[in-house]
Amino acid sequence: MPLPSSYRRIACPKATVTVHGPVQLQEKLNTAAPGDVIRLAPGRYAGQYSSQKSGTPAKPIFVCGTPQSVLDGGAVTKGYGFHLENAAHWRLIGFTVTRSQKGVMLDGTSGTVVQGLNVHDVGDEAIHLRNFSTGNAVQYNTITRTGRGNPRFGEGVYLGSSHNNWGQLTQGKPDASDANLVAGNRITATAEAVDIKEGTSGGRLVGNVFDGSQLSGGGVNDSWVDAKGNGYVIEGNRGTRTVKDGFQTHEEYKGWGTGNVFRRNVIDLGGAKGVGIFLGSDGNTVACDNRVSGGELINKGKCS
């Protein structure tokens, strides 16, 4: 799937069905068809939810709610709050996901938009795209209180998977969860706000707001964004408060962590001793229109 060309907010169409409670919701997810618009009535939906159905580009499947429509997994030690697996063309809009090990998980999913969710109090990461999930948009979500089970794994948005997990998830191949858009989110996380894994490429991070005041995990998590993939455009983001740096690149796996472009980001180090953009790998570009307060822009070379 190609990189989404726009990050305009999507409006929910008129509901084709309104569900009340967990049984009705899961039943409808099991039978979802192109063009369905599932409206979540306000209330608590105890449990964890999943679907393997697909919409089409012309007729996506909508699940729409309000912050008062709460998917409550019950515990931060297990499961996924909302899981799409080998699915395509969904629109998840406006509801709350809380108290699961992981908030929203997209496995092998394409052409999907995750918009305006409130994801909080999860054991590990809030929103994860992996296992060849391509051409998706994660936009205008509010993410807080991640890492309740393990702060080290409390990423806000996680793209791809570690090379250490390729054998388990992707038959040993790089997890090419490519061409995903992360836009307009507000993220306060215990690990990176956005973790871009090796094996992924061609994504875009734009217009996000990062708050690093909760970064923890024994010093492992020390920036808002860690770019270990290739060919990302990272622009127009704002960050405040961090442990060390604002943004970082790394070559976690040979041949990865290169070709990334940083431009028009506004970085407030807030007393941290690092730099705005730490280049731990070669072949990346830092434009001179990035702005940093409280330290130097980059650790080596010059902006361009």
Whole-number Å distance between alpha carbons of 170 and 201: 16
Nearest to 214 by CA among 142, 152, 277, 140: 152
**Is residue 295 situated within a structural domain?**
no
pLDDT value of residue 218: 75
pLDDT digits (tens, 9 = 90+) for 121-160: 999 999 999 999 999 999 999 999 999 999 999 999 999 9
pLDDT value of residue 301: 94
Rg (CA), the chain: 18
Residue predicted with more confidence, 114 or 218: 114
Decide if pLDDT at 237 tops 90.
yes
Q: Say which CATH number the domain at 158 has.
A: 2.160.20.10
Whole-number Å distance between alpha carbons of 116 and 47: 21
Q: Residue 20 — pLDDT band, cuts 50, 70, 90?
A: very high
Q: Residue 6 — pLDDT band, cuts 50, 70, 90?
A: confident
pLDDT value of residue 5: 84
Cα dihedral: 258, 151, 236, 118 (round 10): 130
Decide if pLDDT at 217 tops 80.
no
**Is residue 272 situated within a structural domain?**
no
Q: Strand, coil or helix: what is 152?
A: helix
Contacts of 3 (CB under 8 A, 6+ apart): 135, 179, 180, 181, 202, 203, 204
**Is residue 236 situated within a structural domain?**
yes
**Is residue 292 situated within a structural domain?**
no
Whole-number Å distance between alpha carbons of 125 and 103: 7
**Is residue 273 situated within a structural domain?**
no
Confirm whether pTM is higher than 0.85. Answer: yes
Count other C-beta atoms under 10 Å from residue 90's C-beta: 26
Total structural domains in the chain? Answer: 1
- The sign of the CA dihedral 144, 121, 52, 134 is positive
pLDDT value of residue 219: 79
Q: Strands 238-240 and 266-268, how do they pair?
A: parallel
Averaged pLDDT, 107-130? 99
Kindly write down the DSSP assignment for every residue of 212-277, as one continuous string: -TT--TTTT--SSEEE-SBS-EEES-EEE--SS-SEEEE-SSTT-S-S-EEES-EEE-TT-SS-SE
**Is residue 15 situated within a structural domain?**
no
Kindly write down the DSSP assignment for every residue of 91-143, as one continuous string: EEES-EEESSSEEEEEES-BS-EEES-EEES-SS-SEEEESS-BS-EEES-EE
What value does the mean pLDDT of the chain take?
Answer: 98
What the block records as the tokens of 44 is 């608590």
**Is residue 70 situated within a structural domain?**
yes
Cα dihedral: 226, 228, 234, 238 (round 10): 0
pLDDT digits (tens, 9 = 90+) for 27-75: 999 999 999 999 999 999 999 999 999 999 999 999 999 999 999 999 9
What the block records as the tokens of 205 is 């991070």
What proportion of the chain, given as a percentage, has pLDDT over 70?
100
**Is residue 18 situated within a structural domain?**
no
Q: Strands 194-196 and 157-159, how do they pair?
A: parallel
Contacts of 252 (CB under 8 A, 6+ apart): 162, 163, 197, 198, 228
pLDDT digits (tens, 9 = 90+) for 167-179: 999 999 999 999 9
Whole-number Å distance between alpha carbons of 122 and 104: 10
Residue-number span of the structural domain to which 215 is assigned: 28-244
